[in-house]
Structure 1
Amino acid sequence: MTQKHIEVGIVVERRAVDSPWIDHAWTPLAVLPEPPPLPPWTELPGTPERRSIYLGAATLTLHSVDTAHFRENFQAGRAKLWVAIRPTGVEPEIEFVGVTADPFEGEVYAENVGDVVEALPMPQAVAEQVLAFFEANHVEREFIKRKRQEHDPRKGGGPRPEPGTRRGEGEA
């Protein structure tokens, strides 16, 4: 299995919310095509209600077995990267979970209760690298539909009806 690692930067947003239970919420905001020369948790220009923060560098890993999924990502329209973060309840308030170009892996991220997942636009420079990886590693695999064997009731495989009853009668 071939892999490629692409370093990207992750930007998150802390926005004020009107709720009796919480005063703010976090969400992934953008993926940068390469990590900027900033330390993690650098606050970027914004407003007090919507603070943008550079969370830090992250590694997008491409696997050759996932190339068909990358194709689906590009065929769906504007290609996306799925970014997942998780509230921690302590300082720092969130942690990075992962970034992926595979829509199915993005769906798995979304199934984790409590994680915040966003499908963000894939930067052009990253899209070019993902497409080049696809071209170099994709192998078309023929879909083979499994054929079911016909059931032969004479060979067993289930409760037999009592003598003198039809199937379904007398069953609970």
Structure 2
Amino acid sequence: MSNTPDESERTAADDAQHEYGADLPVTVSQRVSVVVERRPSENRWIDETWMPVGIVPAAEDRDTWRLLREADGVETYLAATLTLSLHRSEVEAYKLNLSNDVPTVLIVMTPSESGDMPYDVVLATCAAYEAEGYLMGGDELVEPVPMPPAFIAWVKEFADARYAPAAFVKRHRDKAPALVDHKFGKDPIFARTGRYEAGEDDGDGL
């Protein structure tokens, strides 16, 4: 017997999806700026290291980096502005991220082909798998930064409104092979024994 849910079950699942955010926007976005630090390297073969350390809401769109402060040899920059987007198809990834002790935003930086800075910030995402493709290149930086409280509230509101728990679908149990009616010309998969064997008693001696 087929395990495919019947029409009423499919309709119930569709209704559940409709209830959990089908009428809400598929994507929402915010403009953000990534905070990046330049530090002297402790590696004798590398002069300096660059690392994203945070994100802030973008007060203005910028296509250049701005030095925020310099202290003890560490330079802190506000990198160029980019868009942080949330997508309905990635809600489960957001829920998983928010379940961590410290929710994060993944920042991707790639080597710059032009400009004064050695890297370009190309992606900010709250879904870890969206950044995974950049891990294969070798030269890219993929680093998590703490998600600020205001962004946690924003992501949680988006995910909670669109998250649809998996609908329960009742499955019909198939008959055990030994109990399937024997068809002419075919040997049974399992020989019937005891009380199931035709013409014999049930073994109670009655």
With the shorter chain as reference, the TM-score category is: 0.7 to 0.9
1:65 and 2:104 aligned: no
Mapped partners of 2:99, 2:139: distance in 1: 30
Q: Distance in 2 between matches of 1:65 and 1:143?
A: 20
Tell me the C-alpha RMSD between the 2 structures.
2.3
Q: 1:5 aligns with which of 23, 29, 46?
A: 29
Larger deviation, residues 102-111 vs 55-64: 102-111
Q: How many residues align?
A: 143
- Distance across 2 between alignment mates of 1:52 and 1:103: 25
- Counterpart of 2:49 (choices 9, 13, 25) is 25
Residues 1:16 and 2:40 are matched in the alignment:
yes
1:76-128 deviations in Å (ceiling 9; x for gaps): 22110000111226533211120100122233333332111111110111111
Which structure 1 residue ranges, 5 or more long, are not aligned? 145-172
Residue pair 1:27, 1:117 contacting (<8 A) in 2 also: no
Matched, 1:36 2:59: yes
Moved over 6 A (4+): none
TM-score (norm 2): 0.62
8 A contact 2:105–2:147 mirrored in 1: yes
Query: Mapping of 1:98-113 within 5 angstroms?
Result: 98-113=123-138
Larger radius of gyration: 2
Corresponding residue SS for 1:46? strand
In the alignment, is the contact (CA less than 8 A) between 1:31 and 1:120 conserved in 2? Answer: yes
Q: State the Cα distance separating 1:136 from its structure 2 match.
A: 1.8
Q: Which of the residues 141, 144, 153 maps onto 1:119?
A: 144
Name which of structure 1's ranges 120-129 and 109-118 shifts more when overlaid on structure 2: 109-118
CA distance in 2, matches of 1:62, 1:120: 17
- Assess if the C-alpha contact under 8 Å between 2:61 and 2:81 holds in 1: no
Establish whether residue 50 from structure 1 lines up as the match of residue 74 from structure 2.
Answer: yes
User: Is 1:137 aligned with 2:162?
Assistant: yes
Identity %: 24
Give the unaligned 5+ runs of structure 2. Answer: 1-24, 170-206
Give TM-score, length-normalised by structure 1.
0.73
